[in-house]
Amino acid sequence: GLEAGQTRLRFKDVDVGVVETIDLSDDLATVLVRARLKASVADHLSDKARFWVVRPRLSGGQISGLETVLGGTYIGVDFSAAGSPTQQFEGLEAPPVVSASQSGRPFTLEAAHLGSLSVGAPVRYRGIEVGRVSDYTLREPSGVEVQIFIDAPYDAKVTSNTAFWNDSGFSVALDAQGVRLDTESLTTLLLGGISFADRSAAGGASPAEAGQRFALFAD
C-alpha cells in the first residue's frame, strides 16, 4: 500500500515526513523505502527509532489501524533520542507494544512454559490493568523468558518481594455451595494474562530495578 510521493510518515498522528522512492534490493529479497523527514525531528533519529507500516490489526484484544481503510496506508514512527545517529533502519512487521516515550519500567519473568500468554497480554495489579507483555524468547537450556512493561506510576508497586503468576484461563471448584467458575476476563481467556502482588504482609520494600528478573508462577 506504500506509494512514492504520497505515503506519509507519522509520529503521534502528526506528519513528520513522506516516502520519496520505493525500490527492490539487488538480490530482490527486500523492499527499499527512501523517505525524507522534517528537520525538526532530526535529533531523534537514532538506531533506537522504529518504523512500521500501519494497517488494520487485531492485537492484544484491540483493533488498530482502521483509519487506513479510508485514509490510506502510512508509516508509523517511534523516535528515541537515545542511541547512535543513523539513517538506515529495518522496518518492523508489527507496531511496538511499548513506545520509547512511554513512562514505566520493563521487567523479565522466567517460566517453564509460555502457556497461553501472547504479546499484548495484560498485566494486572489488584485487578487493574497496569502493563502488558512486550515480548518472549526461549531461555537456554530450558524454559522461556517473558518481557513485560509496567506503566508509571504502578511500576513502583514492583519490589523485591513481588510475586508474579499466570492468571490465564479459568478454574472450577465444586463444594457445598455448588459449582464456581473463576476467570479474570474474556481477554485473559483469549490472550492470557499475568497478575502480581507483594508477598510481604508488612510491605515497605524498595521498588525493583528496571530489568530485574522474577519467577513467573503457574498459579
The string of pLDDT tens digits covering residues 136-190 is 999 888 899 999 999 999 999 999 999 999 987 555 667 777 776 665 545 555 5
In sequence order, the 6+-apart residues with CB closer than 8 A to the CB of 106 are 98, 134, 147, 148, 149, 150, 210, 211
Model pLDDT, residue 203: 63
Kindly indicate the confidence band of residue 108, based on its pLDDT and cuts at 50, 70 and 90: very high
Closest Cα to residue 1, out of 96, 74, 95, 51? 74
| Percent of the residues in the chain that have a pLDDT greater than 70, as a whole number | 83
Model pLDDT, residue 67: 55
Model pLDDT, residue 144: 95
Question: How many residues can be counted in the chain?
Answer: 219
Closest Cα to residue 75, out of 153, 147, 10? 10
Which whole-number Å values give the CA distances from 17 to 35, 42, 106, in the listed order?
Answer: 7, 11, 30
Average pLDDT score over residue span 114-131: 89
- Mean pLDDT, rounded, of the chain: 85
Weakest-pLDDT range from 65-74, 87-96, 120-129, 204-213: 65-74
Whether residue 71 has pLDDT greater than 70: no
Whether residue 100 has pLDDT greater than 90: no
Mapping DSSP onto H, E and C, the string for 37-84 reads ECHHHHHHCECCCEEEEECCEEECCEEECCCHHHHCCEEEEECCCCCC
What 3-state class would DSSP assign to 92? strand
In sequence order, the 6+-apart residues with CB closer than 8 A to the CB of 131 are 104, 122, 123, 148, 149, 150, 151, 154, 155
Q: Which three cell numbers stand for residue 100?
A: 520509547
pTM beyond 0.75: no
